[in-house]
């Protein structure tokens, strides 16, 4: 190998160098690169265009309210004063709630499906879970509104209040609709996504790694902890980000159960509230051109920015995990 490398003529080395720089070997490759580059540019163009339209159409409220749009809690078309603090809070609150419950539950379910589930059940369950992910969100919303909210109002929230009422989370008046209901619906909506992505990536853990651990007397749980999870980590995180994106932007189901009131941000999960998406869905029908419409579009702009920031953070996290994994893989010294 090394001899061969040394004996390469200088000219040939240069030629290889040029190929590297151009990163093309054949005309076919060049063509393909061109096409894929074009697609990338189209996507970038769409994102930039969306940003541009959101910004330009929300200029009236940006000019009028400036930063206070973020800190003002009234969204009041009657007096033409707008702020989205409750909606920002509600968006973050409900999404965080959903992640906190869906991630451990989803991981647990995926581990069960991959490692403990009887074979005969495995495919059926996996199929059902994928089916759950495909249910339209309005149906989750209907269920939330018709079943979950009344139950929370009559049984769930009073019970929580009675037993855990000393926590600020469960203080306040049971309303049925509110952050709690929205959080639960969101959890249910992103759970199948997290399960099925985690399952897929855990399934491809190299069998050699599993066997290496087992042959050393590792238990099944140790195999999961030391082989499956480290291997699947990056993929699972990818799934969680997808799920978070869905939770942040989910509109229909949340609008149907969150209560749609611009209340003061409160830790109490019983509070009816807003999310950015539900503000838009709720108000858009009545919007009149001018500050009102501009305020709605600015709410969209803020949602867009929040999604962008979480995605960038997540990419960065994934990249650093991958770098860490490669570091431990190491090259030969």
Partner 1 sequence: MESNMSGPYSRLPATEGRLASQRSETPPVDLRLNHALGAAEPGQPLDQNAGVAIEVRHLNFYYGTRQVLFDISLPIRQRQITALIGPSGCGKSTFLRTLNRMNDLIPETRIEGEAIFDGENIYDPAIDVIRLRQRIGMVFQRPNPFPKSIFENIAYGLRIQRKPHRQIQEEVERSLRAAALWDEVKDRLKASALGLSGGQQQRLCIARALALHPEVLLLDEPCSALDPIATLKIEELLLSISKEYTIVIVTHNMSQAARISQYTGFFLNGRLIEYGPTAELFKRPRQRETEDYISGRFS
Q: Which of residues 157-216 bind partner 1 (CB under 8 A)?
A: 206, 208-216
Using CA atoms, how far residue 326 sits from 89, 207, 231, 329, 331, in Å, is 38, 20, 12, 5, 9
Helix H or strand E encompassing 213: helix 207-215
Q: Helix (H, G, I), strand (E, B), or coil: what is residue 273?
A: strand
Closer of 11 and 208 to partner 1 (Cβ): 208
Closer of 27 and 330 to partner 1 (Cβ): 330
x-or-dash string of contact with partner 1, 210-239, rule CB under 8 A: xxxxxxxxxx--x---xx--x---------
Distance of CA 101 to the CA centre of its chain: 13
**Min CB(324)–partner 1 separation in Å:** 11
Closer of 10 and 119 to partner 1 (Cβ): 119
Distance between CA atoms of residues 204 and 50, nearest Å: 37
Q: Report the 10 Å Cβ neighbour count for 62.
A: 18
Q: Which of residues 271-330 bind partner 1 (CB under 8 A)?
A: 325, 327-330
**Min CB(216)–partner 1 separation in Å:** 4
Closer of 20 and 329 to partner 1 (Cβ): 329
x-or-dash string of contact with partner 1, 113-152, rule CB under 8 A: ------x---------------------------------
Distance between CA atoms of residues 104 and 223, nearest Å: 18
* DSSP 8-state secondary structure symbol assigned to residue 225: I
Q: Does 1 bind partner 1 (CB under 8 A)?
A: no
> How many residues in the shown chain lie near partner 1 by CB under 8 A?
26
**Min CB(123)–partner 1 separation in Å:** 13
**Min CB(204)–partner 1 separation in Å:** 15
**Min CB(155)–partner 1 separation in Å:** 42
For tokens 């090259």, name the residue: 331
Closer of 76 and 115 to partner 1 (Cβ): 115
Which stretches within 79-176 are classed as H helix? Answer: 85-111, 119-134, 137-143, 149-151, 157-164
**Min CB(211)–partner 1 separation in Å:** 6
Distance between CA atoms of residues 301 and 295, nearest Å: 10
Alpha carbons within 13 angstroms on the beta-carbon side of residue 192 total 17
The first and second tokens of residue 233, run together, are 């980590």
Residues lying near partner 1 in the complex (CB under 8 A): 119, 206, 208-219, 222, 226-227, 230, 325, 327-333
């Amino acid at each position: 190998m090394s001899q061969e490398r040394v004996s390469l003529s200088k000219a040939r080395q240069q030629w290889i160098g040029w190929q590297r720089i151009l990163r093309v070997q054949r005309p076919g490759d060049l063509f393909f690169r061109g096409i894929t580059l074009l697609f990338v540019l189209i996507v970038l163009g769409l994102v930039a265009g969306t940003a541009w339209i959101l910004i330009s159409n929300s200029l009236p409220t940006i000019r009028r309210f400036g930063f206070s749009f973020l800190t003002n809690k009234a969204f009041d078309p009657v007096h033409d004063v707008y702020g989205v603090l409750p909606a920002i809070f509600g968006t973050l609150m409900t999404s965080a709630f959903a992640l906190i419950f869906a991630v451990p539950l989803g991981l647990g379910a995926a581990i069960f499906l991959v490692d403990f589930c009887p074979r005969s059940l495995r495919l059926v369950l996996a199929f059902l879970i994928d089916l759950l992910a495909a249910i339209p969100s309005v149906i989750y919303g209907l269920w939330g509104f018709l079943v979950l909210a009344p139950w929370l109002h009559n049984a769930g929230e009073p019970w929580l209040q009675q037993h855990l009422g000393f926590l600020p989370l469960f203080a306040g008046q049971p309303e049925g609709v509110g952050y709690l209901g929205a959080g639960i619906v969101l959890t249910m909506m992103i759970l199948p996504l997290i399960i099925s992505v985690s399952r897929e990536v855990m399934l491809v853990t190299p069998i050699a790694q599993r066997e290496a651990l087992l042959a050393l007397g590792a238990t099944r749980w140790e195999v999961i902890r030391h082989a499956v999870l480290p291997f699947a980590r990056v993929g699972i995180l990818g799934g969680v980000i997808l799920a978070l994106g869905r939770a942040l932007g989910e509109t229909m189901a949340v609008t149907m159960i969150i209560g749609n009131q611009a209340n003061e941000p409160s830790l109490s999960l019983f509070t009816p509230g807003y999310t950015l998406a539900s503000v838009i869905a709720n108000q858009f029908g009545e919007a009149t051109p001018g500050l009102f419409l501009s305020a709605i579009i600015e709410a969209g702009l803020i949602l867009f920015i929040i999604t962008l920031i979480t995605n960038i953070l997540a990419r960065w996290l994934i990249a650093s995990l991958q770098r860490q994994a490669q570091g431990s893989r190491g090259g030969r010294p």
